[in-house]
Amino acid sequence: ILSTVTGVHKYKWLKQNVQGLYPQSALLNTIAEFALKEEPVDVEKMRKCLLKQLERAEVRLEGIDTILKLSAKNFLLPSVQYAMFCGWQRLIPEGANIGEPLTDCLKDVDLIPPFNRMLLEVTFGKLYAWAIQNVRNILLDANAKFKEL
Domain ranges of the chain: 43-148
Q: In this predicted model, what pLDDT tens digit does every residue of 59-92 receive, in sequence order?
A: 989 988 888 888 777 777 877 777 777 777 666 6
Mean of pLDDT values over 14-24: 54
Report the candidate in 98, 75, 84, 66 with the shortest Cα–Cα distance to residue 131: 84
Nearest-angstrom CA–CA distance, 84 and 29: 45
pLDDT at 49: 87
Tell me what percent of the residues of the chain surpass a pLDDT of 90.
9
Confidence of residue 43 (pLDDT cuts 50, 70, 90): confident
β strands within 20-134, DSSP E:
none
Q: What is the pLDDT of residue 17?
A: 54
CA distances from 20 to 23, 36, 65 (A): 8, 14, 49
What's the pLDDT score for residue 142?
A: 92
pTM for this predicted structure: 0.58
Give yes or no for residue 140 having a pLDDT over 90.
yes
- With 80 as the cut, is the pLDDT of residue 46 above it? yes
Distance CA 85, CA 71 (A): 9
Residue 23 pLDDT level (bands cut at 50, 70, 90): low
Burial of 57 (0-12, 13-18, 19+ CB in 10 A): buried
Instruction: Identify the CA nearest to 37 among candidates 1, 4, 2, 12.
Output: 12
> What angle is formed at CA 125 by the lines to CA 122 and CA 130, rounded to 5 degrees?
135
Answer whether residue 7 shows pLDDT above 70.
no
Q: Are 46 and 111 in contact (CB under 8 A)?
A: no
At 11 the pLDDT is 57
Considering the chain, what is the average pLDDT of its residues? 76
DSSP one-letter code for 10: G
State how far the Cα of 111 lies from the Cα of 42, in Å rounded to an integer: 17
